[in-house]
Structure 1
């Protein structure tokens, strides 16, 4: 990796990993539903401008599949992250987001669609979820609340979305245009939650800046950086970002927000990442697959990529 690409990878990890910090700050003036809608709208706007500049056209026949992807990859998880972070620290939220590959493997095993699973991958699944338990330490009397369940459901929603996208969107359409269309659909879907949201917006300067940065940079601009990393350095370099995201979220939460960073939390993060790494070992004699970069554009902060594909960003 050259110095320039390493810098680009670092900036990408910082922008994407900071999404949980911006969500936390945005919640000081907006409700989870309001944050989700604005985030999707701003991200879609950025990508629509870039798609137009690149002369990429929006897809037509893909809209039914894009709506499903927008629901599970954007509207639902973006809302759930906002709900979860009302009671869970931003750093821990980033770690729970990193469990998306674990959910992908677990769902595949339950549905019988996961072939060639090795003992190493199964051990990684157990180890990864064990790391989550280590962070929350339920044996010490702490019972995971609704916030934790919401964050876990968001990671599982990403896993469902990636399975659907892998079957219906891979190799179809121009990446910028497809990602813009998906986020535009997610904006409409997220807006459906607003009538049920009775919390009035009480915007302040911090919340406004946070939601703008979240939508423009942590959701829109990051796609372009990720695309360039994959294009110039390949999937391996892009995958590095996936492992940096929870580290960035935990570090920012501790430094900026003063969230507690105990040895148990640090060890739990390392165990989760080790488990994720083990689940990504490819089955023997199976050629690796490559995911088109447009699928990563709509993943907020960290997101899963099945074994052999480009990156786990969300």
Structure 2
């Protein structure tokens, strides 16, 4: 029950993040957005780490750094670049391909034998992306094939990050994982921001910019990633990645309602197919849980 509640909260936070990033791109570069976003995230995580008396490791190893880099440092920067030329509604649906990449990487990297339902899920997911992209060109709004492909790269990074955490760092506290994710991303993007936009922090003097970062940084990044890692460690990778099942609805509602982005039939078809794909992916797990409950009763 706790995992479901946290999953809903995380979906609301991450589903709205596209809206905040889109607005901030008017005044800040992608690297500057990620830098300040992670700095605000750290402000939330530092007191929690201090309260939990977690031992701080000055250098946790290259494998750890590499995996947490795939959670924010690389994908968040690329995501911000992608949103420069693509609508949030489209990016939100493409973001739902994260579980599909998780299955593909599990098969390719760890020789995991796929279930029949997972193969069906991959087929439906690929078809959903194809329909969405083919119908999004020429209907108004923003759309670029290159930037759509960048979104798929982002979700591939998310999938590798989730697999890596679940496989190698399952026992690491969620707040510690979130702290290092924010720190690595802040440092790497901070260097780029200093070079490309040295006066970026001065934009925080504007109330709308500061307010956006309070939500995007403190809540969506700091609290959000701690929730995500907690779910990953306690509920499993696929359960955590189900956030991509709910978040697109939030993104579409905000994109259409607040940004005036076009709502065409391809978005509905793509989202519907993606939902069926995620259901198919988790069908065996859901079936096993139902049988287990019947046996308990």
Q: TM-score range by the shorter chain?
A: 0.7 to 0.9
Cα 1:268–1:65 shift into 2, 3 Å:
same
Q: What corresponds to 2:293 in structure 1? A: none
Q: What corresponds to 1:124 in structure 2? A: 121
Cα 1:191–1:258 shift into 2, 3 Å:
same
Check the 8 A contact 2:256/2:262 in 1, yes or no.
Answer: yes
1:175 equivalent in alignment to 2:174: yes
SS at match of 1:193: helix
The 1-side partners of 2:38 and 2:123 are apart by 34
Q: What corresponds to 1:187 in structure 2? A: 186
Q: What corresponds to 2:196 in structure 1? A: 197
Q: What corresponds to 1:261 in structure 2? A: 263
Cα 1:89–1:11 shift into 2, 3 Å:
same
Cα 1:178–1:115 shift into 2, 3 Å:
closer
Aligned length: 282
Q: What corresponds to 2:274 in structure 1? A: 272
The 1-side partners of 2:175 and 2:12 are apart by 21
Deviations 1:256-306 (A, max 9, x none): 1111112321121111122123233458xx99xxxxxxxxxxxxxxxxxxx
Q: What corresponds to 1:98 in structure 2? A: 96
Unaligned runs of 5+ in 1: 288-314
Check the 8 A contact 1:39/1:211 in 2, yes or no.
Answer: yes
Q: What corresponds to 1:251 in structure 2? A: 253
Equivalent of 1:212, from 208, 211, 214?
Answer: 214
Cα deviation for residue 94 of structure 1 reads: 1.5
Check the 8 A contact 2:67/2:165 in 1, yes or no.
Answer: yes
- Give the TM-score taking structure 2 as reference length: 0.80
Considering only aligned residues, what root-mean-square deviation do their CA atoms show, in Å? 3.5
- Give the TM-score taking structure 1 as reference length: 0.76
Unaligned runs of 5+ in 2: 290-297
Check the 8 A contact 1:59/1:177 in 2, yes or no.
Answer: no
Instruction: Report which of the two has the higher share of helix.
Output: 2
The 1-side partners of 2:79 and 2:43 are apart by 21
Check the 8 A contact 2:89/2:267 in 1, yes or no.
Answer: no
